[in-house]
Amino acid sequence: MHDSDIQDQQRDQRHVARMQRKKALIDARIAEASAERGLLLVNSGNGKGKSSAAFGMLARALGHGLKAGVVQFIKGAATTGEEAFFRRFPDEVRYFVMGEGFTWETQNRQRDIEKAEAAWAVARELLGDPQIALVILDELNIALKHGYLPLERVLADLAARPPMQHVVITGRGALPGLIEAADTVSDIALVKHAFQAGVKAQKGVEF
């Protein structure tokens, strides 16, 4: 047998031993996690993927035959691909685009507050419907950060939702009180972005 063959064999054996230890640890942790309940998930941070991750979960939920609702608190200039796509399934997804634009486009605090209140009224309806397994509140963090909606009221309505309903909230600058109330929180950091290299927002990627 060649030296290199022996080395390969030793490497494979070490791999098996390491993976056996890992499997034992992971299996034990999975056995411990036995609770099931509706989760509150928050996707925040400055990187790309906060809303995309919510819409990936939406696809996932639809694949399991679940029903879902979406409220977009900030409407971009163009109709988004996700809106065009998920509107294909009106029996499975209730889809609402409520905001009027980014805060620096509207430049009108009173109107932004009115729009946020109207969006929350729709969100409350979804949060009151036990038939809806997943509610996405896209860019709600922006409305909370600017004080367009009071966090206490939002948290109270979230706490009163059906026990098995999952909620995903997205947007930069999640408030500490929301993070505390959440079950799963991802902070998506920007390592780099094509925009920094002069690439414009492209369909299928950014919208």
Report residue 198: phi and psi, to 5°: 85, 15
Q: CB-side exposure of 191: number of CA atoms within 13 Å? A: 1
Q: Is 38 exposed, middle or buried (0-12, 13-18, 19+ CB in 10 A)?
A: middle
CB of residue 138 to a copy of itself, shortest distance in Å: 11
CB of residue 75 to a copy of itself, shortest distance in Å: 15
CB of residue 13 to a copy of itself, shortest distance in Å: 9
Angle formed by the axes of helices 151-159 and 109-127, nearest 10°: 10
For the record, the structure tokens of 30 come out as 């999975």
Give residue 204's region: left, alpha or beta (phi > 0; psi -120 to 50): left
CB of residue 204 to a copy of itself, shortest distance in Å: 4
